[in-house]
Every structure is written in structure tokens, then in C-alpha cells.
Structure 1
Amino acid sequence: MIHFVLLVSRQGKVRLAKWYSPYTLSERSKVVPIIMDAKLNLLRTGQVIRELSGIILNRGPKLCNFVEWRGFRVVYRRYAGLYFCMCVDEKDNELEVLDIIHHYVEILDRYFGSVCELDLIFNFHKAYYILDEILIAGELQESSKRSVIRLVCTHDSLVETAKEQANSLSSVIAQVTK
């Protein structure tokens, strides 16, 4: 099971965070030990996101894409300037999770046409919607890229139709009230 999905930029900014396991705010912001120097062990209040992004961003490019973390395994992959991270149970198959990450990136790439970080910043709702079409409750639900793209495009056309109807209705109301 996937517990959460994070998209983090190289600067450590979160671009997307989807939680499938219940994490309260206190669990997300608990005191965690971070070693700042070999001589100093400091306790610093930080969030799960900060802790994980710190671990992942500081890893070398030649190291594997799996990190043991708090009894879980975090699987990540870097695409351009973004790190796509998924937290799974220790017994889950890491290669399958890497395949899910790649599947998500390919769908984003097809939908946006060479997806970049700005696409995810300005169209974050579409990135969430695509993720919701792929994963439900932390489990892979749709493995067909064509089906996901078709569903998202259908949703977009429905939204456009609703906007046009709302605009025409508001213009009719404005003419009547004059």
C-alpha cells in the first residue's frame, strides 16, 4: 500500500502531496532527530515532508532510489527538476512502485505535452485529478494510460461545457435584470 505521494522540487518545495494513510498534523510535525554536525546531535522540530526531502535531496545520483524511513520504505525517482516520492510498506515491491511513478510521469507528460514544474504549479488540480484516476486509497487502480487520458479529457470537456452554460446563463440573467 502507498501511504503518501510527494512531488518535491530540487529546492525542497512541495509541488504535490497526497496522503493515503491518516497522518494528523501532530504526526506530520513531530520532533525528529537530525544530525547537523558530527559533534552536535540537535533535536529539531520538522515535518515529515522536510525530513524526507532533506534525506532525498542530499542523496547522491549514483545511490539507489530506495530509502528506509521510520519502518517504511520511500521509493523516489528524479525527473528533470522534480523528485517523485512514494512511501510504501517495507515488504512491498520497490520496482513496482518505481513503475507506478514512471506510469504517472508518462501520463502527465502525455497530458501536458512535455510536463514541467510550472505545469504542476499552475495546474495542480489536474495533477491531483490524474493521480486520483491512477491510485485509489493507495492502490493502483488504472494501468491503462489511454483510459486515464480519455477520462481526464472527458472531464475537461465537461468542465468547459459547464463554464459555457454558466456564462450564457449569467448573460441571460444580466439582460433580464436590466
Structure 2
Amino acid sequence: MKSELEKLGLQLLAVDLGEVEVTPISERQKSEIAEHLKGFGFELIDDKKSRLIDKIKTLIIELVHQQNAQLNTNLSDYLSKQLTQDYSSLSNLFSEVEDTTIEKYFINQKIEKVKELLLYDELTLNEIAFQMNYSSVAYLSNQFKKVTGFSPSHYKQLKDKKRKQIEDL
């Protein structure tokens, strides 16, 4: 994506996962960039609230979908530390804009990851519960059923296993 933006004549100041900082540009250039990004399945996020919401989502997705020890940390502490902002203000903004809580978004991401692991059929439910930092298989099963309407074992037996795209959560 970096080279595509440079082709548009943009001077890039910083490039990070899902985020690019450029020198000041005109509204016309913003429109051109937005159209160009759409062709690649991306969108231009220009206001501070939207950028912060996007950062929260990106951090949660990274936390859930990367297998590492960070999943053992408290979500509110993790987000506050990463974004250097008070969690209650992050939570209020997220709820206001997304019409759901950060916690529900986090749970939905975890359940999608559990669905993925169930489909791979390489781990036992006990191993999945441990990997996803659930205190017990029962807790995972209850949360899974609350979100999907199915128990994990029933979900594994379904012929048409519906998973959601990350962007649709």
C-alpha cells in the first residue's frame, strides 16, 4: 500500500499497521486518495474519533488473533497503556460510536477465533479454552452459546459453519 500512496505523489511521514501519516494535503487530494483506497478494500479515516475507534479495534484484533501471552493481560489496562488514555473515556467513545461496548466487541472477536480453532479441529476444547484465556471449558461453552446460539460441540457438527469477517464484527 505504501508504494500505491507514493504513486499518488504523497509524502509519507510514518507508516504503521493500518495507518499512514502524510504531509498536509488538499480536500481534492483526500477525495482522490479515498477513491484509490476503495479499490483496494480500504477506507480513509480522517477524524480523530474514527481513528481512535479504529486503533481500539486493531489492538483487540491483534490481541485475540495473535497467539501470544498478551491475552493474559486485563483488556482495560492493555488498551489504556497502548493508547495512553483513560479506559473509561475510550469505553464511552467506543460505545457511543459503535453502539456496542468494547467488552462485547472483544468477546465477539474471541468467539470468532474459537470458531476458527474449532474448524481446524487440531485442539481439544480444553486446549482452546486455555489458549483463549478462559478460566474453564464451561465458561467458554457458556459464552460461546450466548453469542452463537450453539454449544461448541454442536457448532462443530454443523454442515454450514458461518463465520463472520473481522470487519463485520
- Report the TM-score, using the length of structure 2 for normalisation: 0.33
Q: Which has the higher contact order (CA 8 A, sep 6+)?
A: 1
Greater fraction of residues in helix: 2
Higher share of residues assigned strand: 1
TM-score by length of 1: 0.31
